Structures are given as C-alpha cells and as structure tokens.
Amino acid sequence: MKKKNLSAKKKIHNFYSKKLKDPSIKRIYLNFKKKLLDNNTNNFCVAVSGGVDSLALSFLAKCYSLEKNKKVYFFIVDHKIRNNSSSEANFVKNELKQFKVDCKILTLKKQKKISNLLTYARDNRYSQIVNQSLKKKFDFILTAHHEDDLLENFFIRLLRGSGLKGLISFKKIKSKVNINHKVSILRPLIDVPKKDLIYISKKTFNFNVDDPSNYDDKFLRVKVRKLISKLQKDGLTLKKFKTSLRNLSKSNDAIDYYVKKNINDNSSYIKMTNKIILNENFLYQPDEIVFRSFSELIHKTGKKNTFSRGSKIINLIKHLKIRKNDTKKTLSGCIIQKIEKSVIISPEK
C-alpha cells in the first residue's frame, strides 16, 4: 500500500478513535456493540436517511466495522417523492464519503400519484434494501429507530386499532422483515433517547438533512408527536410508558404460551402429506388464542413471506365454526377444509 493511502487510513482511524474518547459517545457505542454481538450480527447493512438518527447510527456502525475489520454496506434510498430528493441523497453520500462511509444510492421510479406518502416511502425503502441484502447475503438491516420512536409508534398503532401484539411489537430489538423472512431488522438504538443521537451526530459528522414532512400536520406521525409533547407536560414520562409496555409484554407472553399449547395439544402435523389436522377443541379456545394459532399454522403451511390479513383469518374462523361439514376455502397458499369436527390445512399445489 502506498504511503499516501496508509496516511489517509491512519487519519480516518484517528478520527473515529478520537471521537470515541468522548464518555457519552463511548457509552452509547459499547451498548451498540453489545447489541450486535448478542444478536450474532455478522453480515449487515445500514439504512441511511440523512437525518441525525441515521447519521449517528452510521458513525457507530463505521466504528464497529473498523474495530472488527468488517465490510459494512450503507444504503440511501432516493424515494423521488420530493423534487430535491436526488440532490439530498447525493449530498449525504458525498458528505459521508469524506469520513470513509461509502453509501450506495438506491433510486425508486417516480410515481405520479401516491395515496399515503409515508407508508409508500417506508415500504419501498425496505423493499429496496431487502433486495440488496438478499443479493449480498446480509442477515440484518440496521435501522436508527430510537427510544422516542417507541413512544410514537405505540400511539400510532393505538390510533389505528392494533391489538396487543401490534402495540408492543416495535419494542423488539430484532424482528423479521415482512417482505422476506430471510432478512431481519435490527434496532440497536431502540433504548437510546433521540437527544443522545443528536449529540453524537453533532460531535462527529456535524451535518444532516432536515425532512420537511417532519413538520407537516397532515401526517399522523406529526400529529402524534405533538400529542405526546402535550401529554409530557401533563406528566407522561418514558419511564412510566416503559412500565406500561413491560406489563403489556407480560400479558402478550401469557397469550403466546397458550397459543403454543393450543397448537401442541389440538393439532397434528402429517409429514408424509404435509398437512395439519386441527381437532374440535382447536377452534373453541379464547378468540385471541384461536386467531394467533390459526394465523401461525396458515403461515407455516402456505410458506408465504407475509402473514395473512387479520380480517381474512377472523372471517375464516367464523365460517369454520358455523359450517358443519365439507366446507372448503383457500387462503395464503393453503386449502382449508372442514370434515365433520376436524379441520385440515394443506398447501395449494
């Protein structure tokens, strides 16, 4: 390696090691590193938006890659939603290049009409990054979701009528991507307050892109953010919220226990034909137990990337309870047939 290259490499190592001497940054980095090690995060990429959260994540991921001598990929998705989205993506890419963070821009086709901008942006961001992850055989996509997001997402899901499982699902550090279950989302900063990520971003790369949608009242997330701000003035704290979330998680764990019990006690798997037979007792458990049990078995048998819509599962369960015999339905790659008091789930051919 040429002397010039060696000098540049040493300079960039010194930049990161110097920043890690800051006690606050070091504390967050050690917590970040522990999350990656605990989850066996060997092959991963990083979702970069240009906001302070993702830039703090990028800094931490780069530190980890230097310490462990790992190649880490960074992806920016250009949604083509705003007129200046491409220039913003290039700006972030060029700024990070100075710190030896090499980003690849993934560009979406410009859509004429989009009904839900934030949902479109989120779903297509994951879709693009998942496709790259499958090509390069990444196990994980690191996202910059943080402690404040936990509170916001709880209220958003509450307003949308989510059940218990939906309300607490975002608190998980790791979760499968709905698009393809070979890839997982890892949220190593989920217990870090946003103010700490702002601190890291300012003390390291010291730039960011400000998304104007963060201030637009037409978006539910912005409305929820303002609602939380008012509730905090009336005594809502993250500590109190986390206590409630822990209690809800315990209730969810209890339901999961009885879901497994229902599947073990009231269903049989026939390996030769790849069919599942449900006995009479399976459908006559509490509603949530039946719903989750049935959803899990449909997903397992149909081998689809995503779970069936909740409303379709509920309607099918009602149908099976009402009809006496020989009813047949299809759902998510499965044939569901009721014969006398049993239900047979088999894969579609």
Asked whether residue 55 carries a pLDDT value surpassing 60, the answer given is yes
Would the pLDDT of 181 be above 60?
yes
Q: How confident is the model at residue 166 (pLDDT cuts 50, 70, 90)?
A: confident
pLDDT at 75: 94
What residues are paired with 225 via a beta bridge?
none
C-alpha 15/C-alpha 96 separation (Å) is: 13
**Which domains are seen in the chain, by residue range?**
3-236 (3.40.50.620), 265-347 (3.30.465)
With a pLDDT cut of 70, the percent of the chain lying above it is: 91
**What is the per-residue DSSP string for 305-317?**
SSPPPHHHHHHHH
SS3 state at 332 = coil
Nearest to 185 by CA among 195, 203, 173, 194: 173
Given a cut of 80, whether residue 123 has pLDDT beyond it is no
For residue 339, count other CB atoms closer than 10 A to its CB. 12
In angstroms, the CA 46 to CA 133 distance is 10
What's the predicted TM-score (pTM) here?
A: 0.83
Q: What is the pLDDT at residue 4?
A: 52
Contact 334/328 with Cβ under 8 angstroms? no
User: Of 93, 95, 97, 122, nearest to 105 (Cα)?
Assistant: 93
Q: Which of 138-142, 221-225, 303-307 has the lowest mean pLDDT?
A: 303-307
Closest by CA to 200, choosing from 31, 13, 30, 52, is 52
Q: Taking a C-beta distance cutoff of 8 angstroms, is the pair 99, 12 a contact?
A: yes
Let me know if 80 is exposed, middle or buried by CB neighbors in 10 A (0-12, 13-18, 19+).
middle
- Does residue 76 have a pLDDT over 70? yes
Alpha-carbon 128 to chain mean position: 14
